[in-house]
Amino acid sequence: MPLEIVTVPCRTDNYAFLLHDPDAGRTALIDACEAAPIEAALNTRGWGLDEVWLTHHHSDHLEGLDALRGHHECTVTGAGADAHRLPPLDHEVAEGSPMQFAAHEVQVIDVSGHTVGHIAFYLPAAAAAFTGDSLMACGCGRVFEGTMAQMWVSLSKLAALPPNTMIFSGHEYTAANAKFAATIEPDNPDLISRIRTIEEMRGKGAATVPTSLALEQATNPFLRASQPDVKAGIGMAGAPDVEVFAEIRRRKDAF
């Protein structure tokens, strides 16, 4: 049976994700944003909690962990480079560390930029990447700790995944991100169509996460910094990709 993935709305605009293997009867949680909605989602499905994977150290991604640990015998995995800022870890990982969920390969990707030590988890069998606050729906995380060059490298790693990969990111920021994206590519037909879809989905209270990498490549300005039309449109024709990315990120910060 295929892996099951459940998006769990938490806090004001956070998302946590439950990953369940029906054959093994195991469940993993990606980011422990808030205990109560995560417990409710587990109880509704009759699932236990076996593993927790943390993408980065920001409190809105791990505030529910202590309560969850109090109710479940679960192991916690996070970046060894960030262990000094994370709750106690059972497993410390880095890019390239061997990792499995039940019988499925999990690839750990260093996506530093938003924070240094931020990691993403990619499961080829599920065509799913859990990206935290690195690559986001129609956007990317603000560069708080790393450099613009680090963030561009991180996004480029994620952009190289198969186009059918579903991107499970950590926040419901899509409408605001798309509004900004339209200032970079106002005539992008894929973006215009996406904005209409986002408006319809949010009008119904539906989550816009996850999203496909193919859609991100077509509409996300931070993944499109290498495109000649994008460079020309912001007055940076011929500029290095990383400089164009940095300018787009600066514009978003001031938007």
The domain locations on the chain are 4-253
Q: What digits encode the pLDDT tens for the residues 226-246?
A: 999 999 999 999 999 999 999
53, 85 Cβ separation under 8 angstroms = no
d(CA 227, CA 208): 25
Return the CA Rg of the chain: 18
Q: Which CATH superfamily is domain 4-253 in?
A: Ribonuclease Z/Hydroxyacylglutathione hydrolase-like (3.60.15.10)
- Inter-residue contact 122 to 132 (CB < 8 Å): no
Distances (CA, A) of 6 to 32, 43, 45, 184, 213: 14, 13, 10, 33, 18
- Model-level pTM? 0.97
Per-residue pLDDT tens over the stretch 162-179: 999 999 999 999 999 999
Give the dihedral of Cα atoms 160, 115, 132, 134; nearest 10 deg.
Answer: -40
Whether the predicted pLDDT of 1 surpasses 90: no
- pLDDT per residue as tens digits for the range 62-102: 999 999 999 999 999 999 999 999 999 999 999 999 999 99
Q: Is the peptide bond before 221 cis (omega within 30 degrees of 0)?
A: no
